[in-house]
Amino acid sequence: MRNISQKISVPFHYTVHFTRDIFANENALVQKVTKNGNVMPSKILCVVDSGVCGAHKGLIHRIVEYCGRRRQALRLVCPPMIVPGGERVKNTGIYVARVQESIQKYGLCRHSYVMAIGGGAVLDMAGFAAATAHRGVRLIRIPTTVLAQNDSGVGVKNGINAFDNKNFLGTFVPPYAVLNDSDFLETLSDRDWRAGTAEAIKVAALRNPQFFRWIERHARALTARDRRAMEFLIRRCAELHLQHIATTDDPFELGSSRPLDFGHWAAHKLELLTSFRLRHGEAVAIGIALDSTYAKLMGMLPERDWQRIINLLVNLGFTLRIPKRFQRLNGCDDPSLLDHGLAEFREHLGGELTIMLLQGIGVGVEVHEINTRILSESIATLDRVCPSRKKAKEPFVWTGLRQPSDGCSRPIER
């Protein structure tokens, strides 16, 4: 009998908005985004990161008041649901079930909204719950960290951790909209402010040498918490991520390649090995440094480009040494060792192991095997050349390497 073959294309469109003071009376962004053409008010279930509530006193009251003033357009179905921030909210299915239960209890449908406010972990969890209720309730993300605003919050992934694997359960479903409010960044710790810049370095090193040079020139401004510099970094990083998602012909990662997960095989494993004491961005910085060092030792990445990458990471305040207890390797067979992350990385996608490395800043190349001996030498190299301090008092630079000298003196380039 003759087979039937059919190709289905499903277009997705969503906008990343940039604003300040999103729940101010005069800021109508939330109302505009949720306007769906219906006569009835849009139903909204609000999920809020407890850490954000603690840092922004009165936030819950402001959300309730905001929706109350717009009751003809917005219907907050219940008081905002407060959930733990950080990986704790992803390490169990309890919070997903609570969001799903509320979606059912309050009669949300596919034209209703789950509005998630928080860091990347809360957005991941709430997104997974929304995507799996009614096979898809609309998700509005309001990211509150640098990393969520420039990376995880603008992408198409949702998920939680399970079976000792990061993001083992999840979906590929784009958000309905992303609302980046830079006011939320003001209360971040220096550690969380810095952590999000690792994803910007990642995408710049992979795709845009001009953006990489911009980060080099503005490293001092970024570490000094210059808001204008950070707003530009977030916008440009988000733009590059979205361009990648839209132009690679594999936004849902059906193949074996994850180009934007440069440095992430080690990062994900280090997060698990440290019981998530390492922030995701901190682990990504180590992963970038490790893979860049490996590429240099393999003769792929020029020495100068390697030095620029390490210099920038250190000057932004990252610690790049892998903790001694995690430095031992044994060929990917022991789940308690770092190099087992390679097997987990391959298994997560299936198919052939595919690791993105660099041949130069802005030039990525995929490899399908990792030499354990060279990997071990890479770990030792980082241990030898990188400062142990989390933030050097003076800019870190090798003798003979010309470091950009203008710091933050130049105006921000658009």
Q: What is the pLDDT of residues 197-215, one digit of tens each?
A: 999 999 999 999 999 999 9
Q: 353 lies in a domain?
A: yes
Whether residue 280 contacts residue 346, with contact meaning beta carbons closer than 8 Å, is answered with: no
Assess if residue 264 is contained within a domain. yes
Which whole-number Å values give the CA distances from 345 to 76, 124, 266, 315, 355, in the listed order? 40, 19, 9, 29, 9
Written as six digits, the tokens of 7 are: 């190709």
Element housing 141 (H / E):
strand 138-143
CA distance to 278, 290, 348, 384, per residue, from 236 (Å): 25, 25, 29, 33
User: CA separation (Å) from 87 to 16, 160, 383?
Assistant: 24, 9, 27
Residue 309: inside a domain = yes
- With cut-offs at 50, 70 and 90, classify the pLDDT of residue 412: very low
Q: Do 34 and 136 sit in the same domain of this protein? A: yes
Q: Could you give the C-alpha distances from 338 to 61, 83, 88, 289, 358, in angstroms and in order?
A: 45, 31, 22, 15, 21
Asked if residue 83 belongs to a domain, the reply is yes
Please tell me whether residues 158 and 298 are part of one structural domain. no
Per-residue pLDDT reduced to its tens digit, 41-88: 999 999 999 999 999 999 999 999 999 999 999 999 999 999 999 999
DSSP-assigned beta bridge partners for residue 117: 48, 142
Pairwise CA distance, residues 215 & 274, whole Å: 29
Contacts of 235 (CB under 8 A, 6+ apart): 18
The predicted structure's pLDDT at residue 109? 95
Q: Do 174 and 217 lie in a common domain?
A: no
Give the angle 172-230-18 at the CA atoms, nearest 5°.
Answer: 55
**Burial of 109 (C-beta count, 10 Å sphere; 0-12/13-18/19+):** exposed
Same domain, 177 and 258: no
Q: Are 171 and 277 part of one and the same domain?
A: no
For residues 210 and 82, state if they share a domain.
no
For the chain, what is the domain count? 2
Domain shared by 140 and 212, yes or no: no
124 and 260 together in one domain:
no
83, 217: one domain: no
- The 10s digit of each residue's pLDDT in 102-122 is 999 999 999 999 999 999 999
Whether 10 is covered by a domain: the verdict is no
Same domain, 65 and 210: no
Q: What is the pLDDT of residue 325?
A: 85
CATH number for the domain including 173? 3.40.50.1970
* CATH number of the domain where residue 351 is located: 1.20.1090.10
The verdict on 210 and 163 lying in the same domain is: no
Residue 106 token pair: 């309050």
Q: Phi and psi for 89 in degrees, rounded to 5?
A: -75, -15
In a domain, 104, yes or no: yes
CB 315 within 8 A of CB 396: yes
State whether 301 and 357 are in the same domain: yes
- Which residue range(s) make up the domain with 36? 15-187
Which tens digit of pLDDT belongs to each residue from 24-49? 999 999 999 998 766 689 999 999 99
Query: Is the residue at 229 inside a domain?
Result: yes
- In angstroms, the CA 323 to CA 132 distance is 38
Copy the structure tokens of residue 189: 């710790």
Domain boundary among 187, 210, 227: 187
Kindly state whether residue 128 falls inside one of the protein's structural domains.
yes
For CA atoms 48, 228, 13, 37, give the dihedral sign: positive
